[in-house]
Amino acid sequence: MKKILCHICIMLVALICFSANGYALEFKAGIYYFDNSKLKFNNVKMVLGNEHTTYVYDMISLGDDSRLKGRLNQDLSDLTGFCFIESDTMPGTYNKGLQFFIHDIASSNPNFRQTKVLESLNTWAEVTGWVFYPLNDAPKSDGYWRPLSSYGVEPSRTVPLVHINTQDSMPIISKDYYINGELWIDNCGIEGFESLGSDDAPMVMEIKGRGNYTWTCLKKPYKIKFAKKLSPLGLDNSKHFVLKPDCDDWSGYLRNETGFETSRQLGMPYTTRQYPVELILNGEYEGIYFLCEKIRVESGRVDIMEQIDNDTNPYNVTGGWLIEKNGNGPLINAQYQNNDPDESFYYFSSESPELLSQEQLNYITPLLQRIDSLIFVADKNDTAWENYLDINSLAKYYVIQEVMESVESFSGSLFMYKDWGEDEKFKFGPVWDFDCSTYANGTTGDHFIFEYETEFTFLWIKELLKFPHFQQNIRMVWKEFMANDVLSKVLEHAHQWRNIVKDAEISDSQRWPFLASVHPEELTTQYLDIIARKVAWLDEQWTVPVGDVDCDGHVTSVDITIIYNYLLNGDETHKYTCDVNGDGHVNSVDITTIYDILLNQN
């Protein structure tokens, strides 16, 4: 599905736009529109062409000067660019290259104005029936295409409104460089939320693009950095937040929030929080977004010691580390060879620290290689890898991904973190990015995630599942999942979330009609049904015999000893499995129940 959306969701700006196989631009015969509210051209022509030929078409007023219409009477292919110009040039076909044609007109008219169109950042798509919007009223203005149906769309105001104005209305076209801007939030009278700043007194901030695949979409994700720590909409106090469009979530915007809620219910140390908003960017309605805490090393988020960039002291480089598989940060030794037959190279990136010294690389790279070697040992009763990876967080992380059917989970957006100290282990999490989860890649709720045929690989997890002790920990986590009725709580939260976003989704679908769900409520129901089906299927796979307190697949005297340790010493390692008879209490009755089972076995 990502490949399909990647073809649709693109940056539609180009002057000279080549593909690997030749020219990339093609305009179909049909109607095209031009928004004239900023440039206020007097006589507008749509000009298209290549290095040999130029085509000129009249743009006609629709009754006011703000929007014009032109018709192409034939398909035009092998084009290198297009623009809109203010000129009395006659419509027609000219045997002159596009750049020379425009240069000749500009040379004879010192006041010549045109839209300046940038190089394409991605594949071109059909824009028949769309409106071209100049960004500003400069003599040469950048611009972008939007569907006609988005013209004049108003926000629903059923979720808070985030207003962002960039300096000089600059477009956000880079993931690497911030541009200055201002932000304020209107709570739209929604109870429980405070407005932040105002039009007259906005918050100073910087903004840039973010994401991997999602950055190729027309509806872009952004990273925000405030000038000081703030707590917008009650989120964690920080300078750093993200605005996620979740534009490929056809489940009714449930995928990420459902995954986050499952993580919270299973007690992961930190799970990012988010809230739906509507975005007004430089005065233009951009639809529904999710204002979200950014995963980073910080009190209240990944709460470990923060390691400074480029530290050269060997005493300091043991932590803290926040790393991501296939992330955007600095590469840890680029790629390192591993033992996985399905993927000969992994690469990790360091989210914190962000700049790595050679001493830091010399510590982290061999450590990851050591972990990899221990995971791929022949003897699966050898659990030396557990000296480096926290098995409980790994088991919980894996269960969450299975419940959500997140087939990308061990391929990308996989975070691990390690506190300072040689003896500290890597913990898995926080969870992030459930775009390729339930109902996104043909999942059916009756397979393990690594059994589906996808483009993704699975870092370590298929090999780790061969270790009996890891399987034992998975079953313990599953016992906790079922004992706490996590499914019911997650489904209830999903319905509440859906009620919050559904009205804003209507406005969003008018703004982005080619991204909208055709039957959102029906897809939401199907999505939640698959999650419930997957939980039932997992319960069949992971349920242990009554009395099997340590979840090793057998009922023995060891299980009685574990209950004694719980009652006498408060050892909560097996807290959710000690209640053998399921009455909600752990006491001597549970010990007696196991004795009865053992007597019946003999």
Degrees, nearest 5: CA angle 496-257-305:
130
Look at residues 275, 293, 311 and tell me which one is the last residue of a structural domain. 293
* Dihedral over alpha carbons 80, 81, 87, 92 (to 10 degrees): 50
Whether 137 and 205 map to the same domain: the answer is: no
**Domain that includes residue 135, residue range:** 12-146
Residue 175 lies in a domain: yes
Between β-strands 114-115 and 140-141, what pairing exists: parallel, antiparallel or unpaired? parallel
Residue 582 lies in a domain: yes
Please return the burial class of 221, using the count of CB atoms within 10 Å of its CB with bins 0-12, 13-18 and 19+.
buried
Whether 190 and 228 map to the same domain: the answer is: yes
Residue 416 lies in a domain: no
Rounded CA gap, 551 and 573, in Å? 12
Whether 286 and 173 map to the same domain: the answer is: yes
Look at residues 146, 169, 193 and tell me which one is the last residue of a structural domain. 146
- Is omega for the bond preceding 320 within 30 degrees of 0, making it cis? yes
Whether 188 and 142 map to the same domain: the answer is: no
Tokens of 73: 């009477």
Note the pTM of the prediction, 2 decimals. 0.78
Half-sphere exposure of 326 (CA within 13 A, CB side): 18
pLDDT given at position 6: 34
Degrees, nearest 5: CA angle 182-187-191:
155
The low-confidence residues of the chain, meaning pLDDT below 70, are 1-24, 64-65, 117-125, 149-151, 327-331, 333-346, 439-443, 455, 457, 514, 516-519, 602
Whether 165 and 247 map to the same domain: the answer is: yes
Whether 135 and 170 map to the same domain: the answer is: no
* Dihedral over alpha carbons 119, 120, 126, 129 (to 10 degrees): -50
pLDDT given at position 330: 64
* Phi/psi of residue 367, nearest 5 degrees: -65, -45
Angle between helices 486-511 and 520-542 (to 10 degrees): 150
Whether 178 and 285 map to the same domain: the answer is: yes
Closest residue by Cα to residue 307 from 327, 335, 329, 328: 329
Residue 429 lies in a domain: no
Tokens of 436: 């390729």
Residue 434 lies in a domain: no
Whether 83 and 169 map to the same domain: the answer is: no
Look at residues 146, 179, 195 and tell me which one is the last residue of a structural domain. 146
| Number of domains forming the structure of the chain | 3
Whether 101 and 142 map to the same domain: the answer is: yes
DSSP character at residue 132: E
pLDDT given at position 120: 42
Tokens of 153: 């769309």
pLDDT given at position 439: 60
Residue 259 lies in a domain: yes
Whether 273 and 182 map to the same domain: the answer is: yes
DSSP character at residue 118: P
Residue 363 lies in a domain: no
Q: Let me know: does 268 contact 480? Beta carbons within 8 Å.
A: no
Whether 142 and 165 map to the same domain: the answer is: no
Q: Which residues contact 206 (CB under 8 A, 6 or more apart)?
A: 178, 179, 180, 181, 224, 225
CB atoms within 10 A of CB 104: 13
Tens-digit pLDDT profile for residues 415-433: 999 999 999 999 999 999 8
Whether 176 and 91 map to the same domain: the answer is: no
Closest residue by Cα to residue 534 from 449, 460, 408: 449
Element (H, E) at 482: helix 468-483
Residue 93 lies in a domain: yes
* Phi/psi of residue 509, nearest 5 degrees: -70, -25
Rounded CA gap, 458 and 79, in Å? 42
